[in-house]
């Protein structure tokens, strides 16, 4: 299957700093990428949908100024957690959908475990 690479796998940062997470589709063009957050023992929660070349669409309750998403190319989307706080500590996962199909399988990155101290 298609490969989505997410980097870094884990990161520890100090409260108040910013962290950037990258999501790359390695062998296909991803017109749409999704960013999820997962707290322990809970379901995946969609944060935002990002389409190449346009602004991301954020889910209700997700602060767009805090979670900056950039989808500058068909193979790269980034999520920047700005002014991180301990409550932002979570598992962040990206997924990408290939091409223009109405809907196809979503390929997931490996996830990034963020710990804010």
Partner 1 sequence: GQNIDQPTEMTATEGAIVQINCTYQTSGFNGLFWYQQHAGEAPTFLSYNVLDGLEEKGRFSSFLSRSKGYSYLLLKELQMKDSASYLCAVVDSNYQLIWGAGTKLIIKP
The neighbouring-strand residues paired with 76 are 24, 73
8 is written with which tokens?
């870094």
DSSP percent split of the chain into helix, strand, coil, nearest 5:
5, 55, 45
Complex with partner 1: residue 10 or 15, whichever CB lies closer = 10
- For 34, the enclosing helix (H) or strand (E) is strand 30-38
By beta-carbon proximity to partner 1, the closer residue of 80 and 110 is 110
In angstroms, give the least distance from the CB of 109 to partner 1. Answer: 6
To the nearest whole angstrom, how small is the minimum distance from the Cβ of residue 22 to partner 1? 14
Closest CA to 75 of 6, 1, 11: 6
The per-residue b/e assignment along 86-95, b for 16 or more CB within 10 angstroms, e otherwise, is eebbbbbbbb
Q: Which is nearer to partner 1, 34 or 67 (CB)?
A: 34
CB of 20 to partner 1, least distance (A): 18
Which residues bind to partner 1, rule: CB under 8 A?
A: 1, 6, 34, 42-46, 49, 91, 93, 102-103, 105-111, 113
- Pick 67 or 107: Cβ nearer partner 1: 107
Q: What is the smallest separation between the CB atom of 105 and partner 1, expressed in angstroms?
A: 6
User: Two tokens at 29?
Assistant: 């063009």
């Amino acid at each position: 299957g298609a490969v989505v690479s997410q980097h870094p796998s884990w990161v520890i940062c100090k409260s108040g700093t910013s962290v950037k997470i990258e999501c790359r589709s390695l062998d296909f063009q991803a017109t749409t990428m999704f960013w999820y957050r997962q707290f322990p023992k809970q379901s995946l929660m969609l944060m935002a949908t990002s389409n190449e070349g346009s602004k991301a669409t954020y889910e209700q309750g997700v602060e767009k100024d805090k979670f900056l998403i950039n989808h500058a190319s068909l193979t790269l989307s980034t999520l920047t957690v700005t002014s991180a706080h301990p409550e932002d500590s979570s598992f962040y996962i990206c997924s990408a959908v290939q091409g223009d199909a109405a809907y196809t399988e979503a390929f997931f990155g490996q996830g990034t475990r963020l710990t804010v101290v």
